[in-house]
Amino acid sequence: MKKIILSIVLALATTVCTAQSVNDVISQFKGVKGATCLNLDKTMIKLMGQGKGNMRLPEKMQLDAVVNGIDSVKILTLEDCNASIKKKFANKNINWDKYGYESVVTSKEDGENVEIFGKKDGDVFKEIVIRVVSEDDDNVLLQVFGKIDPKMLNNNK
């Protein structure tokens, strides 16, 4: 019985000790061959929003309202990385609770796992992290900073 309890404690300790923050994961993978990491500030985001004529958004969602609430975005993509790097990313344990994130959406279907976590400041999110891991090589980590109204995420203006 003692061996079982000790094994469980060691397994949990290993999991907790290897859990990382979102920034740790980005730092670990951004320099890997085939990885792309973009940091977009508010100016760049606004410039992207100027081409909104070609963007399709849900009826109730106003691009200006979304863009105005965003201060910066970090995007990590592993599309051009080898399979072992993608597998490491897929198995990477981020300690969401320790760093103050709450689960917003989790979806697992058609070989694609999407997780959305957020950090709230009152009634708005000050940070949103979207993690996509799929069998089709779409491995992305997106970190958005700003003041994002949860209603904008639900298309309920």
Q: Answer yes or no: are the C-beta atoms of 49 and 67 closer than 8 Å.
A: yes
Digit-coded pLDDT (tens) for 12-39: 444 444 458 899 999 999 999 999 999 9
Q: Answer yes or no: are the C-beta atoms of 131 and 141 closer than 8 Å.
A: yes
Coil, helix or strand for 66?
Answer: helix
115 against 61, higher pLDDT: 115
First to last CA, the chain: 56
Coil, helix or strand for 153?
Answer: helix
Q: What pTM was computed for the model?
A: 0.76
80 against 4, higher pLDDT: 80
The per-residue pLDDT for 63 is 58
Q: Above 70 in pLDDT, residue 77?
A: yes
Q: Above 80 in pLDDT, residue 154?
A: no
Element (H, E) at 3: helix 2-18
Q: Answer yes or no: are the C-beta atoms of 135 and 111 closer than 8 Å.
A: yes
Q: Answer yes or no: are the C-beta atoms of 124 and 144 closer than 8 Å.
A: no
CA angle 105, 137, 85 (to 5 degrees): 100
Which of 61-65, 72-76, 89-93, 119-123 has the weakest average pLDDT? 61-65
Digit-coded pLDDT (tens) for 113-145: 999 999 999 999 999 999 999 887 779 999 999
Residue range 37-61: mean pLDDT, rounded: 68
85 against 68, higher pLDDT: 85
